[in-house]
Amino acid sequence: MRLCVMVMLALCFTASPVLAEEVLDCADTANTGFKWDEKGQASKADFAPRRFIVKIGPAEGGPRIRLLSQDERLIRQTSEGRGQGSSDVYRCKTNAGGSIVCNEITNTEPWMFAKNGHYVRAYLLGGPTGRLDRNIEIVYGICTKP
CB-count burial class (<10 Å; 0-12, 13-18, 19+) for 55: buried
CB-count burial class (<10 Å; 0-12, 13-18, 19+) for 119: buried
Tell me: the pLDDT tens digits for 68-89?
A: 787 999 999 998 766 677 788 9
Name the pTM for this structure. 0.76
Give the per-residue pLDDT at 6.
44
Give the per-residue pLDDT at 83.
63
Task: Give the separation between CA 124 and CA 108, rounded to whole angstroms.
Answer: 5
Q: How many CB atoms lie within 10 A of CB 53?
A: 16
Give domain limits for the chain. Answer: 24-144
CATH for 24-144 is: 2.40.128
